[in-house]
A = this chain, B = another copy of it.
């Protein structure tokens, strides 16, 4: 590998073809092919995912469409066949004699965000902007996957100084927090001794590395439906029961739920679809929302208030509200041992200045993996690689300082060596 040009090239290639949750067919195929080429034993799809409790799988139609697009953009058919039904996780493994089981997690999915076409946006200027209308790598997972593949290359080299079992996990569907759980349920983490997940950016400046992320929030993700009664909006509006209006009344009420003196909270209604046509009182509204809190108790208070708000808004219009809990997220803490070893890896590689802890600012379902490892007696951690960003994560002008790629590859590789 010519460094850093190749890892940058890989990141840019992935950036051009963003794929959203459970539809990462091209990305996963590239990962699987590359890991195989490097000598890893590769497992994909049903071998390492148990989908029983997964919510929000895309439709078969969307899956087929994603598979076809992946094929048209260079994915290998042999890998696609092994990833039915949105099961796009990939795991590469090498054993080098006795020693601990060492696992790193990388995530691959993009977001349903329109990438900016601005002339100030480097992916536009340098020609690697999204070629997929309405989808964008706006969170840096393109970088994560590229880092993972470069780490794979580096540690597969004969003179890499580690022993034991190395397991590189490429996870789908981190956005929405749905991809980690099926991997955990498959048992892939059960024998892991050392686990590390990572993220770039997160408002941490270039040149800094946080030994742990804090501020993982507890979360629930809800899909809410209001069902009312249609009626002619001019002839007999009084006969209708207005689901759209109920939703509109609920929404400011949700954002207005009380701040909590003992817990940091977040609320967002990210999607709303209601009604059909202009001159009919809307009999249907559908919302997707998430509620987060820094403590379990805070989340309990928040969800109780949110239920009340939704039911109250429904009552104002005489409509029915149904709440479907679509997903959850949990918090997790890095083990001190992991943080110490990371510190050493950063020092050894001169990777940058060290920050003890930095807020993740959102969530990452790698916490389900961390919790599993810790529950089974292993040690787990989550670190952040600082990288100046051009816009907030998830914004259409998001881009990051690519020098982080090389840094992360060096530090993570050394971390594995120091941990074995």
Contacts and interface: CB of A to CB of B under 8 A. Distances in A.
Interface size on A, as a range, is: 35 or more
A237 B258 contact: yes
Interface in A205-228: 217, 219, 221
Contact of A244 (B251, B290, B392): B251
A352 interface: no
A275 interface: yes
| Copies of the chain in the assembly | 4
A272 B260 contact: no
Interface string A257-275: 1111111111111111111
A66 to B, nearest CB: 16
A319 to B, nearest CB: 10
Interface in A4-30: none
Interface stretch (A77-85, A99-107, A307-315, A373-381): A307-315
A283 B114 CA distance: 10
A418 interface: no
Given A236-B261, A238-B258, A260-B237, A305 B318 contact: yes
14 contacts: A112-B277, A175-B279, A231-B394, A232-B261, A235-B360, A235-B392, A236-B393, A238-B301, A244-B271, A248-B250, A259-B267, A268-B278, A268-B279, A283-B396
Interface of A: 111-113, 134, 139, 175-176, 202-203, 217, 219, 221, 229-240, 242, 244-245, 247-283, 285, 288-290, 292, 298, 301, 305, 308-309, 311-318, 359-363, 392-396
